[in-house]
Amino acid sequence: MINQITNRPMVTGSGAKEPQTAEEKQLYKACMEFETLFAQQLLTVMQNSTNFFGSGIGGDFYKSMFQEEMAKQMARDDSLGIAKMMYEQIISTNSLK
What's the pLDDT score for residue 31?
A: 92
Burial degree of 30 (CB within 10 A; 0-12, 13-18, 19+): middle
Task: Using alpha carbons, select from 85, 8, 80 the residue that is nearest to residue 40.
Answer: 80
What's the pLDDT score for residue 1?
A: 44
pLDDT tens-digit profile, the chain (97 residues): 455 555 544 544 445 567 888 999 999 999 989 988 888 888 888 777 777 777 788 888 888 888 888 888 877 766 788 888 999 999 888 755 5
Amino acid at 54: G
- Cβ distance 31 to 87 under 8 Å? yes
Please state the pTM of the whole predicted model. Answer: 0.63
What's the pLDDT score for residue 34?
A: 92
